[in-house]
Amino acid sequence: MIFGNMDCLNEYDFLPEAVKECFEYVKNRDMMSLTKGSHEIHGDTLFVNVVEYTTTTPDNRFWEAHRAYLDVHVVFSGKEQIDLNFIENMAQKDYVPADDFLPMDGEPNSHVVLEQGDFLICYPSDGHRTAVAVGEPCDVKKAIFKVKI
């Protein structure tokens, strides 16, 4: 997991070029005007899912991880908590290859709070539960870039 802010990208020169391309995509577009849904960048090797939702309690959310793609979450509006734990600490369920979805159950061992301009990169070992409210529920718009490993 890597947590950072778009204003400090010079600190992340070590990241793979495909991840840097996600940040360039954000910097060169009006992301708030993008419609919800999936937007192709480089076929199935790099694409972005634009999502909008209202944050809620952890009980209303689910744990997940991915094997084929890195997730690069970038928040454009709102505020959300993302709970985190390593997948080896979780009760893993059956992996769904077609959706690159590994559902899990368990408890967080940490979390991050993402606000406008913040990003979170989740690797295959990073279980995450998104859309958790920080205080009161909040409307969030963000991008989840999918970078093929």
Neighbours of 59 (CB within 10 A): 6
pLDDT value at residue 13: 92
| Residue that has been written with the tokens 């295959």 in this structure | 124
- CB 83 within 8 Å of CB 73: no
pLDDT value at residue 31: 85
Q: What is the pLDDT of residues 13-27, one digit of tens each?
A: 999 999 999 999 999
E strands, 1-149, are 2-5, 37-42, 46-54, 63-65, 69-77, 80-86, 91-92, 102-105, 110-114, 118-122, 126-132, 139-148
pTM > 0.85: yes or no: yes
Q: What is the pLDDT of residues 104-143, one digit of tens each?
A: 999 999 999 999 999 999 999 999 999 999 999 999 999 9
